[in-house]
Amino acid sequence: MTTRTTIDYSMYVAGAWVESDSGGRIEATSPATGETIGTVPEGTRDDAQRAIAAANAAAREWAGRSAFDRAAAMERVAGIIEKRRDDLAHTLTLDQGKPLRSESYSEVEELIEYWRMAAGDARRLEGLMPPSVDASKRVLAYRVPRGVVGVITPWNWPYTMAAEVVAPALASGNTVVWGPASATSVCSVKLAQCVVDAELPAGVFNLVTGPGSVVGDEIAANAGTHAIGFVGSVATGYRVAERAAGKPLLLEMGGNGPLVVLDDADLDAAVEATLAAAFLCAGQSCTAGERFLVHEDVHDEYLDKLATAVSKAIRLGDPFADETTMGPLNNEGTAAKMDSHVGDALERGAVLVSGGARAQGFPTDLYYEATVLDRVNDEMEVAREETFGPVVPITTIRTEDEALAIIDSSPYGLLAAVFTRDLRRGLRFAEAARAGWVNINESTNYWESHLPFGGRAGSQSGIGRVGGRFSMETFTELKTVVVNLG
């Protein structure tokens, strides 16, 4: 790991790169190296208010442009990202901590797709022409932008989780005020530079860096934002919903995605999927497999295969090294939660199969061993809560119905997976499981960016759907126009 230059970045408001009113700055420290890699402005409520005012001033003109004009702007953003993929990927590894070769480049490639997809969806955003009771009248129901969309995004996927909201909001004719997570603000500025260099009109896109409790709160509560797109934790999502009461909300929140291995499962495939479910992004994913429900008839064989696979396939190390498959956790809060959940599980009788502690000999204390826990029960924090770390908590089940009951009892309802050789059985299980998305014979961390993704009603996993045109359903509304031809 080499020393890198520290850069003082700015935020973007009303068509200009600016400093915060406060004059304060937030230091960005790399979880991979421990180095200070830059600073960003410590935004205030006044900064957020200026950005919201600028977005409102630009809203009518941007909404009045043709869908094809806005789509061309999205394509320009995608082209700029493509040209800067190396810098964006390296920044992601440095700022977030994920491995360069195995994960960062993949996120940048998906980022490009989000902007191109938004361009295509904008061109196909259609309204209705319902019939009138009066033969001399024609009814048009246009799908029109909400106005100003406030966007609040997390640190685990700082490019794609932002793009899945910002891109469709802009493409469908809204202006945007974006408050990114402070922990990966350098990544956010790098992405913002790509949007800015695509030459959107001043005020259409705004970035305000700073504490979520200040900037994000103002974006959610301010009367000048007309819809909110949020991706992040359950606690923060509830706070956003409270502050944004009365506005259209797209909330993509937490999960502890159960991966179920039934007695007729292909165990080699289930083990491979387990690695992806638990250790992608070091487990810091809302779709991470955080409960592994394994049938008693295959438990021992599954566990043996898993222990071998973890020792061979998971390489914790310098995220810039080609051989590394898992980098550090992003922040101390997440690492401390891993400590707490693993410790609680062991105290309550779980069996440690591998890992279980922070790794030694690295530049920071955020590198955590790939952990496998057996004999996990419902009383343990690692089973009840979202751990957000590299852990496989295994619970033995006796029946399919027992697995469904465990899923039903969870406060989450985002994503689940089931492994079985009987596709009829798998489909019945998927339809019965209380989750917004279910994979059959695939990892919990498998999803496609154009498909509707979000939490099941009544769960703590959110409301609305991200994914291609489905995000646009939240960020637009139907406007009815009646024409009298008589």
Which two structure tokens, joined as six digits, stand for 297? 């008839």
Q: Which of 359, 428, 356, 367 is closest to 392 using CA atoms?
A: 356
Backbone angles phi and psi of 155, in degrees to 5: -100, -10
Say how far apart CA 292 and CA 135 lie, in whole Å.
61
260 forms beta bridges with 293, 418
Neighbours of 320 (CB within 10 A): 18
H helices within 35-141, ranges in order? 45-63, 67-83, 85-95, 105-123
Cα dihedral value 227, 333, 454, 243, nearest 10: -30
> Please, are residues 193 and 88 in contact by the beta-carbon 8 Å criterion?
no
Q: How far apart are CA 293 and CA 420, in angstroms?
A: 13
Catalytic option among 42, 103, 218, 252: 252
Please tell me the distance from the alpha carbon of residue 118 to that of residue 171, in angstroms, as a whole number. 6
- List the one residue out of 103, 92, 86, 4 whose CA is nearest residue 363: 4
Within 307-430, strands assigned E span 351-354, 371-374, 391-397, 415-419
- The pair of three-digit structure tokens given for residue 41, joined into one six-digit string: 């402005």
Which position among 187, 194, 281, 286 bears the catalytic label?
A: 286
Distance from C-alpha of 248 to C-alpha of 476, rounded to nearest angstrom: 9
Tokens matching residue 121: 């969806």
- Tell me if residue 252 is catalytic: yes
In this structure, how many other beta carbons lie within 10 angstroms of the beta carbon of residue 347?
A: 9
Kindly list the catalytic residues.
252, 286
